[in-house]
Each structure stands twice: as C-alpha cells, then as structure tokens.
Amino acid sequence: MSEQTPDANLPATGDEAKALPVFETRKGMWSEGSSDTSGYNGIVRHLSMPGQSEPPFGEPFDSIRSRALELIPGLDEGRFLFDRGELTIYVPREQLLDVAKAFRDDAHLRFEVCVSVSGVHYPQETGAELHSVAHLLSYTHNRRVRLETTCTDDDPHIPSLAPVYPMVDWHERETWDMFGIVYDGHPALTRILMPDDWQGHPQRKDYPLGGVDVEYKGAKVPAPDNRRSYS
C-alpha cells in the first residue's frame, strides 16, 4: 500500500494553511508492529501541528477576523486557523480577557455565550504544551468561533473566563481536574470529577496508565494496569 495520511490527521493544505514541521510519523491503524491482517498496517501517518491559515476564508469568517483585528490590534501577530469550516483564533493569555469581552460586547460580533471550555495536552509542543479552548456562540448572528490559548507545563496559568462568561465555571474546573490548567480568577477552582486528594491529572498524555479496582454487585474489575495480558 502506498503512503497515506488520513484527513483526520491533516491540517488545511495548500494556500489554506502553512503546516508546522512533522513531529511524529506513525505506521499502521492501531500501533506500529501490531499483528493486524486487514491491510491497514500499510498506512503511514505524518502528525504535525496546524499552521497559519491565510484569508480569504469566506463569510462570515472574514468579517469576524477583520473585526477582531480592529478591536484588538495585537491579534495581527497571532495565528488564525480555518479548517473544516471552523475558525480558531490563537489568543495570547495576556489578551484573553480583553478579546473575550470584545467578542461578547461588540455589536458586530456579539458572541453572547461560551458553550464550552476544554483542554488539550501536546507534550511535543515545547513551550506550549497545554491548550485551553473556548467555544463561543453568537445567538444574534448564528455563528461560532474558537479562542485557543496556550501555556507551558512549568507555568500552567491562564486567565479564567468566568468573569466574562459565568457559565464556564464547571468547564474550567473539569479542565483543571483533567489537565492541570490553573484558571486564575476562577471563583472556586476545585476538582469536579476526581476526589479532592487525587494526585495528578488523568487526561494528560504523560499520566500513567493505571487506576482503581472497581467493585460492582460482587464482581471485581481490575484496574487497567493489573489486568491479564493476552499477548
């Protein structure tokens, strides 16, 4: 089978975006060296972080970008990614609250709601290992946009969006719980899924595969690191 890269692992190509260097090459559908006989072992996937997209993107995304640059001039040095019909704006953490307020209050943008805040861990992206992604929705204009902010493992601090969008309270608590991103200014940044005394943040890529045995009606399910190996 010739070398392939599934669409799910590709950033926008050609004039749409300039991809950053490949950080890993994987072979096979599941894991390199597996005994899969379906033919998928011939797949080769080149993994890279998305790069900078160049306009035009089409409306309403060109208008959103232009208005954002008018309101926050510092964003002209930032990164815009347009991929699969969605616009992501990479916002420095020092500007996040100003950008969020502008996107909420400006009549041309009017993103009244932040429907979700989620985290991602990219250990291979030195200096920006942790990403916080805010998904904004405009009821007025029926539009969506994403604001993405990064921080390092050594300094995992990002301003909380709770003063601008109070509904993100629980979302930021979950992101702190799972990824360890500290949202400065959050009213009560405590764990929401794991016990208060839990060590570590389970959805980070460097979190060890392990767990706690589960008991249910007399049956016991071993933790993943204690299960029987069939290989």
pTM over 0.95? The answer is no
pLDDT value of position 12: 45
Reported as a pLDDT band with limits 50, 70 and 90, residue 226 is confident
Tell me what pLDDT residue 197 has: 87
pLDDT for position 229: 62
At 218, the pLDDT band (50, 70, 90 cuts) reads: confident
Instruction: Mean pLDDT check: name the lowest of 51-55, 66-70, 223-227.
Output: 223-227
What's the mean per-residue pLDDT of the chain? 84
Element (H, E) at 182: strand 182-184
**Distance (Å, whole) CA 201 – CA 70:** 38
**Burial (Cβ within 10 Å: 0-12, 13-18, ≥19) of residue 103:** buried
* Per-residue pLDDT reduced to its tens digit, 71-108: 998 887 778 999 889 999 999 999 999 999 999 999 99
Residue 15 has pLDDT above 60, yes or no: no
Instruction: Give the model's confidence band at 27: pLDDT under 50 very low, under 70 low, under 90 confident, else very high.
Output: confident
Question: 78 vs 46, 97, 107, 187, 226, CA distance in Å?
Answer: 25, 15, 23, 29, 46
- For the cut 80, the answer to whether the pLDDT of residue 214 exceeds it is no
Q: Which residues contact 134 (CB under 8 A, 6 or more apart)?
A: 100, 114, 116, 117, 146, 147, 148, 149, 161, 165, 168
Q: Tell me the pLDDT tens digit for each residue of 104-139.
A: 999 999 999 999 999 999 998 889 999 999 999 999
CA angle 69, 122, 159 (to 5 degrees): 50
Q: Domain residues of the chain, as ranges?
A: 7-48, 55-184
Which H, E and C letters describe 41-101, residue by residue? HHCEEEEECCCEECCCCCCCHHHHHHHHHHHCHHHHHCEEEEECCEEEEECCHHHHHHHHH
The answer as to CATH 3.30.460.80 being correct for domain 55-184 is: yes
Whether residue 173 has pLDDT greater than 80: yes
**Distant-in-sequence, close-in-space partners of 108: CB < 8 Å, separation ≥ 6:** 63, 67
pLDDT of residue 221: 77
Residue 152 has pLDDT above 50, yes or no: yes
C-beta separation of 132 from 148 below 8 A = yes
| Neighbour count for residue 203 (Cβ, 10 Å) | 16
The token pair that represents 105 in the structure block:
């209050």
Percentage of the chain modeled with pLDDT above 70: 82
pLDDT at 170 over 90: yes
Query: Distance between CA 6 and CA 226 in Å, rounded?
Result: 34
3 against 67, higher pLDDT: 67
Strands 214-216 and 17-18: unpaired
The C-alpha atoms of residue 142 and residue 63 are separated, in whole angstroms, by 14
**What pLDDT does 22 receive?**
80
Residue 134's φ and ψ, nearest 5 degrees, are -105, 125
- Per-residue pLDDT, 52: 84
DSSP string, 12-25: --GGGEEPPPEEEE
